[in-house]
Amino acid sequence: MKLKTIAIGVSLSVVAMGVSAGNDAVNSGEYIAFFDHTLPIEERLDDISARLTDKEKGHMITLWNEGVPRYGLKSFMPGEALHGLAAPRKNAATVFPQSIGLAATWQPEALKRMGDAVSDEARAQYHNGPVIKDGKRGPLTFWSPVINIARDPRWGRTQEAYGEDPLLNGVMASAYVKGLQGDHPKYLKTAAGAKHFVANNEEHNRFNGNANISEKQLREYYFPAYKQVVEEANAQIVMTAYNKLNNEPAVTNTWLVRDVLRGEWGFDGFVLGDYGSVLMTTKGWGERSFHGHDIYDNYVDATAAVLNAETLDFDNTRLFRQEAMTAIAQNKTTSAQLDRAFRNTMRVGLRLGMFDPEELSPWKDIPFETMTTFKPLALELAEKSMVLLQNEPVNSQPVLPIDKSTVKSVAVIGPNANVLNFGTYSGTAKDPITPLQGIRDYLGDDIDVIYVPWTQNQGELNPIPLESITLLDNQGLGVWTADYYTNRNGSGKPVANNTVGNIDFDFGNKPPHKDLGNEHFAVKYTTTIVPPQSGLYTLGVESQGYEMVFDIDGSTILRDHGNNSEPLRTTAELELDSQKTYTFTVLAMEKRGSSERSVKFGWELPSEDSIYEGAELEAAKKADVVIAVMGLSTEYERESIDRTSEGLPSEQIDLLRSIIKVNPKTAVVLQSGSSIESPWLKSNVPAILQSWYPGEQGGAAIANTLFGDNNPGGKLPLTFVKSWSDLPAFNDYDISKGRTYLYFDKEPLWAFGHGLSYTQFALSDMKIKSSKVAKDGHIDVTVTVENTGKKAGDEVVQVYITDMFERSEKPKQRLKAFERVSLEAGESKQVNLSIDVSDLAYWDEKTKGWMLGDKYEIRVGNASDNILLTDTINVE
């Protein structure tokens, strides 16, 4: 055979690649084409596909399994890298600003550099880090970035997105993916995953929601960022969503995945479902508090469905290594469908070089010490993400920047002053800088910094998020075990048991399980967790009709004797360490005489506590200037938690009302992952800086911006509305009803693209190369930008287009090009921007294709509500 003529040296390199000793198929000296890195990838896949059994293929395309020992194949390790390397958390890594803040930079080049830094850390860990499990040191495949478009500020994961505009979303995400995956001619540096495909914008019903969206709006608004990331940035992984799209779960939506993603866009990487999403299509999940789609009778049928639909290639539970075998044996699916999924997944592994000799990796020598070394870049991105929302004068002078030479004392207050909110899916930072520390470091010992810790009001008990639970069920899903007893103290052997997603049940007048009577019973819930951050947690139970006991690692933390007339809450505070694993046990004991039974367990994340209640006013009176660090945190917005109230929490507004009265020279720094809807704030606070969740260097970036070393140049990537009452219903995905700057018909609080500076800019001399363009041509726009102020700064030139013809669902304008420009005081530059005419097209419902109009207005400004220059072009 031809393959036998390959040189012996290749065969030796196969054995030397790191295959475990004792694997007969390898150590026999047999030539294995799969391990021959000189062959085309498809030939290598042909070889390994013919060698492996169905069961072995299933093991290779599910998480945390043994792989295929007889060939030394280790399975894929999952990872997150939303805004820095976040897996595993025990290895410190650079934490960059959260995605929404990165979008506010409007500088894709900087995101590409960030992606390169994150992938440097990933390779350093993969090649030279400590072993985590089963010989693995860290992942090369990442379920990042999130590019669900931020259509509504109530969505709890807005912070993970790149804003409300399709172009900005696609350009920024693509830049990050390019940085993550690298530009090596043969090997991927890492494999990036775009999620959650598609229309995954509600957390309160994310397991069973249904997004009804026309094909027109999918094509024009919801799809473009995914399409760009796949076609332009060559993303290797796509994760489908939990929700249905037009009554079909995304995880089984053949049109979505097979026809559009693979067929139209040419995607040839692997597709996986969101964590446990296949399980959520089966019946009976309401009993586990997950409330899925209730379509398939069992896991075998659900597994067969996703394989037959050709939607999933990789499973994040165990279905492909267990239920898939049963489905094949029962002729509900075929080995060929499993092989298709296997090949799609392994193709990405080969592109990563996972099965080649390690010495061939271009990144094998990046030392583990590289981790955490990108602090300068983290600071740069944090500074670029700062958006100056407002800067009104007090006594004829703007509050910001604060002139260090004119102040003797600064008061620092607010719930976020001495904490650093990273946002969701964050890694473990080394020596992060809080706003308070950043201000103290900047001012030194010469200026008095008066800090008043925040007094925390009792908030909501939030459920333990899935990502913090380490007790996994037999499908690999984070759960609590529930043991049911026919005695009130939970002793002896349980009569039944199952698992639940979280503890939040209202049983009415029924017992919690069919095997229990209405009296003499108890339920014991148990899980293991790793806290998302270290600090003082408030842990609590809220129940009616039960006596409750809560233990950690066998020690009782709290107990209450219950109440039969209404729910009773009992809480306790406890320091938890993010580097430790804890066993939580919640025992609910039936209380006689209650006609209603409910039980809820949760926590409040760490926050400042203080005995200095009311001291903020005294500090404000004494200080020359007040810095109030306000906003939200993951208590209010995150995965599984949508926002439930608009604007700032009421206690923050109440404090600011008092502070402004005693010291109007007040600057508010907002930390949040979404918009802050507060007309009062805009009308009463002179200076407002939006800092998002700014990453590990956030405190330094905030200080540098407040005191003028950094001139803020960020722009809003989403509209700040005055009130949620100005928006359509949360579950209405039709953006043409008045959602985003494209269709919003009310006055915004601050518009998409808004952002002020400490200097002034002028846009002038707009030129379009030709007023008539061909359908396959491009539009060249030039404009002069001048810094007319006295301080160096950045401006973002934004080019919008408006359709000058009638068509259905016509937006007011669409962003089509942008560029961030740095200018010294008095300097001017000519900015050249190009737009492909094809990018002006709209989706026609009748022809089911893209159509171009004949006339467009080109609009240039520095915000969507501040258009300064216009001209028209004709398409011929």
Specify if 724 maps to a domain: no
Q: What is the pLDDT of residue 740?
A: 98
Specify if 230 maps to a domain: yes
**pLDDT at 735 exceeding the cut of 90:** yes
Q: What is the pLDDT of residue 462?
A: 82
Of 458, 500, 476, residue with least CA distance to 584: 500
* Domain limit, last residue, from 343, 368, 393: 368
In whole angstroms, give the CA distance from residue 426 to residue 264.
34
Mean pLDDT lowest for which of 4-8, 707-711, 730-734, 795-799?
Answer: 4-8
Residue 589 CA, chain-centre distance (Å), reads 39
Same domain, 699 and 848: no
* Domain limit, last residue, from 368, 398, 420: 368
Q: What is the pLDDT of residue 58?
A: 96
Q: What is the pLDDT of residue 3?
A: 29
863 vs 651, residue with greater confidence: 863
* Domain limit, last residue, from 555, 578, 604: 604
Same domain, 15 and 114: yes
CB 546 within 8 A of CB 588: yes
In whole angstroms, give the CA distance from residue 713 to residue 104.
9
User: 112: which residues sit within 8 A by CB, 6+ positions away?
Assistant: 175, 176, 178, 179
pLDDT 10s digits, 488-497: 888 899 999 9
Confidence of residue 397 (pLDDT cuts 50, 70, 90): very high
Same domain, 447 and 489: no
What proportion of the chain, given as a percentage, has pLDDT over 90? 75
Specify if 754 maps to a domain: no
Q: What is the pLDDT of residue 291?
A: 73
Residue range of the domain that includes 413: 379-456+609-714
Q: Mean pLDDT across the stretch 651-657?
A: 92
Confidence of residue 685 (pLDDT cuts 50, 70, 90): very high
Same domain, 338 and 230: yes
**pLDDT at 27 exceeding the cut of 80:** no
In whole angstroms, give the CA distance from residue 237 to residue 226.
11
Q: What is the pLDDT of residue 181?
A: 98
Same domain, 414 and 519: no
Specify if 630 maps to a domain: yes
Same domain, 154 and 207: yes
In whole angstroms, give the CA distance from residue 149 to residue 228.
13
Could you tell me whether strands 522-529 and 778-787 are parallel, antiparallel, or unpaired per DSSP bridges?
A: unpaired
Specify if 47 maps to a domain: yes
Report the number of distinct structural domains present in the chain: 4
Specify if 324 maps to a domain: yes
Residue 217 CA, chain-centre distance (Å), reads 23
**pLDDT at 6 exceeding the cut of 60:** no
Q: Mean pLDDT across the stretch 689-699?
A: 98
Instruction: Show the tokens assigned to 505.
Output: 């049940």
Q: Please, what is the average pLDDT of the chain?
A: 92
Specify if 522 maps to a domain: yes
Q: Mean pLDDT across the stretch 143-159?
A: 97
Same domain, 318 and 402: no
**Number of alpha carbons in the 13 Å side-chain half-sphere of residue 832:** 3
Helix intervals (H) in 199-308? 215-217, 224-231, 254, 299-308
Specify if 225 maps to a domain: yes
Same domain, 597 and 644: no
In whole angstroms, give the CA distance from residue 648 to residue 398.
24
pLDDT 10s digits, 246-295: 999 999 999 999 999 999 999 999 999 998 899 999 987 765 556 789 99
**Number of alpha carbons in the 13 Å side-chain half-sphere of residue 769:** 11
CATH number of the domain residue 550 falls in: 2.60.120.380
CB 648 within 8 A of CB 681: yes
CATH number of the domain residue 666 falls in: 3.40.50.1700
Same domain, 7 and 150: yes
CATH number of the domain residue 803 falls in: 2.60.40.10
Q: What is the pLDDT of residue 507?
A: 83
Q: What is the DSSP letter of 254?
A: H
What proportion of the chain, given as a percentage, has pLDDT over 70? 95
Same domain, 588 and 636: no
Residues with catalytic annotation? 274
Same domain, 704 and 830: no
Residue type, 870: T
pLDDT 10s digits, 87-121: 888 899 999 999 999 999 999 999 999 999 999 99
CB 180 within 8 A of CB 119: yes
Of 128, 125, 133, 49, residue with least CA distance to 93: 125
CATH number of the domain residue 273 falls in: 3.20.20.300
Same domain, 170 and 270: yes
In whole angstroms, give the CA distance from residue 78 to residue 532.
18
Q: What is the pLDDT of residue 628?
A: 98
